[in-house]
Structure 1
Amino acid sequence: MTQPPHDEQTASSPEELREQVEETRQSLGKTVEALAAKADVRAKAQEKAADVKQQAAVKAGELKAKAAEVAHQVQDKLPEPVKDKAAHTADQARARTAQVGHLLQEKAPEPVRQKAAQGARAARDNRALLLAAGVGAALVWLACRRGKG
């Protein structure tokens, strides 16, 4: 049998020995659980991914709200003739897009039609990103105009 370390007392009775063994088991169990948690890299990676995803969702919501606010501010600052011209240009663009879409359906080969449909779906699915890019372009345009004026 091995000698106990100098800083531990030896049990003077079988009951004390049982208590020491039970305490040692509990301590060892906690240590094993802690080591297992540290060694579970996959679980840690999944937790980190979930955290990053949550943070990205929050940030995306903030950016979407900010983009809408900036877009509203930009619209408020535009003179009426510019707003009217933009609306007219947008209407013309929609009409031309419809014409091109119709021609595409008639003349384009099937793979091209599929890619065009895929691009349209991507644009619809990423409206917020496209809106943010448009707002950014408008802000750059406004900043350039202020710099010249």
Structure 2
Amino acid sequence: MTQPPHDEPTAQSPEELCEQVEQTRHELGEMVEALAAKTDVKTRAKEKAADVKQRVGAKAGELKAKAAVATSQAQEKLPDPVKDKAIQAAEQARTKAARAGHLLQDKAPEPLRHKAAQAARLARDNRTALLVANGVVAVLWLVGRRRKG
């Protein structure tokens, strides 16, 4: 039998010894659980992925809010004819997209329909950015037209 460490008192009775053994078992069990958690790579990777997903979602929300502010500021600076052209272009794009969507539903295979639905959702979710892009294109078109003329 080994000698107990100097900082721990020896048991005076069998009951104290049983209590010390139980306490040691409990501490050892906690250590084993902690080590098992550290070596569980799959769970740790899932936890890390969830953390990253949460941070990315928060950053995306921030960026979306900034984009909305920038868009409204850009729209305020655009001349009315450009705004009208941008709105008209966006409406035409929506109409054409709807027509293409109906045609796609009728004739396209399922995987292609699924990808098209994803693209449509993305466009709907980023409508503001698309409107700004249309406005920029309209401004560039007008500037280019004035330079030629």
**TM-score normalized by the length of structure 1:** 0.66
Partner Cα distance (1:49, 1:9) in 2: 47
**TM-score normalized by the length of structure 2:** 0.66
CA-CA distance at 1:98 after TM superposition: 6.6
Partner Cα distance (1:89, 1:118) in 2: 26
Partner Cα distance (1:77, 1:133) in 2: 17
CA-CA distance at 1:99 after TM superposition: 10
How many equivalent residue pairs? Answer: 134
Gaps of 5+ in 2: 144-149
Q: 1:110 aligns with which of 100, 107, 111?
A: 107
Partner of residue 3, structure 1: 2
The sequence identity of aligned pairs, in percent, is 49
Amino acid at match of 2:2: Q
Partner of residue 64, structure 1: 64
Q: Is the 8 A contact 1:123 1:130 kept in 2?
A: no
Partner of residue 122, structure 1: 118
Q: Is the 8 A contact 2:67 2:129 kept in 1?
A: yes
Amino acid at match of 2:30: K
User: Displaced runs of 4+ in structure 1, greater than 6 A?
Assistant: none
Partner of residue 38, structure 2: 38
Cα RMSD (Å):
3.6
Partner of residue 25, structure 1: 25
Q: Is the 8 A contact 1:67 1:135 kept in 2?
A: no
**Could you say what secondary structure the match of 1:3 adopts?**
coil
CA-CA distance at 1:112 after TM superposition: 7.9
